């Protein structure tokens, strides 16, 4: 079995009674991609991932891995592996036995199991702690064990459901670098579910934005951020203003806005928020129609021409940065 394989979702649908959780989505994940399924809570990300893993039945459509329809195969026979949000480690088993568990189920002998487990533990840099029990590990270490346990089955696709959400912010940033390193080293596809746009931007080659059971936009991370197709994507990715002008909806990156004196820009607004962010100051103004517009200014620029709450300012931008949105 080749380890490098495309995964294709064909009109994949999930219904729970009358609720359509995933509505006929279609997508091809290229072999070896780091993909993030991104969207707000309830948009259908986990249902999609669980269907791919085989932990949830498919209502309609199919899942094709390396040209083979795996939609109705049991999880262990699909060529996928899943890492759960809470890691789901067995508390009474050692780190090594947790990692080799699926090999034990497959009837593989102990010396072989231990050898493979130790290789995996080396990959996740946990060699020193193989004999510990899960409750003797930190959150980050437990996560490494869960990763090793998923990878020991040599999946073509690793599925990760909110893998970083149980970690504190500091560790989250370290572990996401670790995930990226592992994915590069192994060369297999990772499909990672998250509701954090910063996490998706930091990790993903490809971002699939979901909204209300459908794929709203999919593409390279930079494209999705810089060229959002809809107001939903622009707002969800952050860093953009969505402005409704007489000529239509546009997205404007907050760092591409220029603050001018009143009536010297394209529109005027009244300052309603000044937020210091260290290197930058986020200045928010209310413009015509009650819309909020944020300009992200360099801290030093703000200090040269400071603004006060309630002050009327002008806001300007170049034509090239105005990005048209559909609906």
Residues that bind ligand ADP in the complex, under the rule CB under 6 A: 16, 19, 21, 39, 41-47
Residue closer to ligand ADP by CB (options 43, 200) is 43
Cβ proximity to ligand ADP: between 86 and 127 the closer is 86
State the nearest-atom distance from the C-beta of 106 to ligand ADP, in Å: 29
Report the C-alpha gap between 285 and 281 in whole angstroms. Answer: 13
CB atoms closer than 10 angstroms to residue 274 = 16
DSSP state of 262: T
Choose between 44 and 61: whose C-beta lies nearer to ligand ADP.
Answer: 44
The Cα 173–Cα 163 span in angstroms is 12
Q: Which is nearer to ligand ADP, 42 or 314 (CB)?
A: 42
Nearer to ligand ADP, 49 or 201 (CB): 49
Residue (43 or 52) nearer to ligand ADP, CB: 43
**Which residues, in sequence order, are CB contacts of 218 under 8 Å at separation 6+?**
27, 206, 207, 208, 209, 224
**Which residue's entry shows tokens 């696709």?**
157
Q: What are phi and psi of 217, to 5 degrees?
A: -160, 140
Strand partners, 326: 230
φ, ψ for residue 22, nearest 5 deg? -135, 125
Which structure tokens are listed for 322? 């105005």
Maximum alpha-carbon separation in the chain: 78
The continuous run of DSSP H or E covering 233 comes out as: helix 231-237
Residue nearer to ligand ADP on the CB measure, 21 or 103? 21
Token duo for residue 105:
């189920």
Evaluate whether 39 touches 46 at the Cβ level (below 8 Å): no
């Amino acid at each position: 079995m080749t380890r490098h394989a495309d995964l294709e979702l064909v009109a994949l649908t999930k219904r729970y009674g009358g609720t359509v959780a995933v509505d006929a989505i279609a997508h091809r994940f290229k072999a070896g991609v780091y993909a993030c399924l991104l969207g707000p809570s309830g948009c259908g990300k986990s249902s999609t991932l669980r269907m791919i893993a085989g932990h949830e039945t498919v209502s309609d459509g199919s899942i094709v891995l390396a040209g083979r329809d795996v939609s109705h195969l049991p999880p262990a026979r699909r060529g996928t592996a899943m890492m759960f949000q809470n890691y789901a480690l067995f508390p009474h088993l050692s780190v090594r036995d947790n990692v080799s568990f699926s090999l034990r189920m497959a009837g593989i002998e102990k010396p072989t199991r231990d050898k493979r487990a130790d290789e995996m533990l080396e990959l996740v840099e946990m060699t020193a702690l193989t004999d510990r029990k899960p409750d003797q590990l930190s959150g980050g270490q437990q996560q490494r064990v869960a990763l090793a346990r998923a990878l020991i089955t040599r999946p073509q696709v690793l599925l990760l459901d909110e893998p970083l959400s149980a970690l504190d912010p500091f560790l989250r940033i370290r572990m996401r670098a670790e995930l990226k390193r592992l994915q590069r080293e192994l060369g297999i596809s990772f499909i990672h579910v998250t509701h954090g746009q910063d996490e998706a931007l930091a990790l993903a080659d490809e971002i699939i934005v979901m909204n209300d059971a459908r794929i709203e936009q999919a593409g390279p991370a930079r494209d999705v951020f810089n060229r959002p197709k809809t107001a939903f994507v622009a707002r969800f990715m952050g860093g953009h203003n969505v402005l409704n002008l007489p000529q239509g909806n546009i997205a404007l990156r907050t760092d591409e806005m220029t603050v001018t004196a009143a009536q010297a820009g394209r529109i005027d607004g009244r300052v309603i928020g000044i937020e210091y962010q260290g290197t930058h100051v986020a200045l928010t103004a209310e413009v015509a129609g009650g819309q909020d517009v944020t300009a992200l200014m360099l801290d030093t620029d703000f200090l040269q021409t400071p603004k006060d709450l309630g002050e009327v300012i002008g806001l300007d931008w170049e034509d090239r940065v105005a990005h048209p949105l559909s609906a």
